[in-house]
Amino acid sequence: MMITSVSDIRPIDRAEARTLAAAENERVLYLLTTLSEEEWTRPTDCTDWNVRDVAGHLLGAVEGFTSPRAFVHMMRAAKKAAGDGSFVDGMTAVQVRDRAGLTHAELLGRFAAAAPRSTRFRARIPAAFRAIPMKQELLSGETETWKLGYLLDIILTRDTWMHRVDIARATGRELVLTNDHDGRIVADAVAEWARRHRRAFTLELTGPAGGTFTGGSGDEPITIDAVELCRVFSGRATGDGLLDQEVPF
């Protein structure tokens, strides 16, 4: 059994972020194309969102990052919708609202067209813009300041990945998981989790996206399915001890 120290998990750089985003967009699009009409209406683990709402949000996420014009429009609309609250929450609300009238075929067609443009645009945003600060309220109620680059490279892909999990769970579809893609997304989240709680641990993650990770000296042994761990991180499930530490998704 290979054991990985979290200190050896390299950060996801811009080039790898583009590769992961492209692959994740392809996987979620394929999953959406397999759904029956009835499955689009099923509730998900996201409060107040059914599968169709999640898909509208995902479409908005790719279309909002396809060009400078689309990006500015989305940022302005999100800021207005957020008011004094969470910018990201305002952005997702606009994404769902503005695409609610699309047919399923229209949504899928627009997603297929926008996804490749989105990954290119995200990767090419200049460093000066990537450094722009943005405030985000966590599930705990605490507010963090993120750089736009963190949203572009990490959160947007984590979010798409987690929503693919939501859709698969809602519809009973098999979740396609591979260690090179899904395992990399999970490992990056584990590394961030370790940086946030700063305590010793040994973490055994089961399933295709899993692995064994350690941090610090001594340990608090934890065994959990890799996907379930990310559901805990994102507030979709609960955990005790170190698993009480939130990680943004």
Give the span between the Cα atoms of 54 and 99, in whole angstroms: 11
Q: Residue 218: pLDDT band by 50, 70, 90 thresholds?
A: low
- State if pTM tops 0.75: yes
Closest CA to 71 of 86, 99, 91, 100: 91
* 162 confidence band (pLDDT: 50, 70, 90): very high
Q: Which residues contact 230 (CB under 8 A, 6 or more apart)?
A: 161, 162, 165, 186, 189, 247, 249
Which residue intervals of 12-103 are DSSP H helices?
A: 14-33, 51-63, 68-82, 87-98
Neighbours of 68 (CB within 10 A): 10
Domains of the chain: 11-171 (1.20.120.450), 179-244 (no CATH)
Q: Give residue 109's pLDDT band: very low, low, confident or very high (50, 70, 90).
A: very high
The answer to whether residues 213 and 190 touch, using CB atoms and an 8 Å cutoff, is yes
Rounded mean pLDDT of the chain? 93
Segment 26-76, tens digit of pLDDT: 999 999 999 999 999 999 999 889 999 999 999 999 999 999 998 888 888
Q: Give the C-alpha separation, 88 to 96, whole Å.
A: 13
21: which 2 tokens?
């985003």
Give residue 178's identity as a one-letter amino acid code. Answer: T
Task: Work out the average pLDDT over 221-233.
Answer: 97
Q: Is the pLDDT of residue 137 over 90?
A: no
Q: Do 9 and 190 form a contact (C-beta atoms < 8 A)?
A: yes
Say if residue 189 is exposed, middle or buried (CB neighbours under 10 Å; 0-12, 13-18, 19+): buried
Residue 160 has pLDDT above 90, yes or no: yes
| Residue 147 dihedral angles phi and psi, to the nearest 5° | -90, 150
pLDDT of residue 119: 97
Residues 161-175, mean pLDDT to the nearest whole number? 97
Q: In the predicted model, what is the mean pLDDT of residues 197-212?
A: 96
Is residue 94 scored above 90 in pLDDT? no
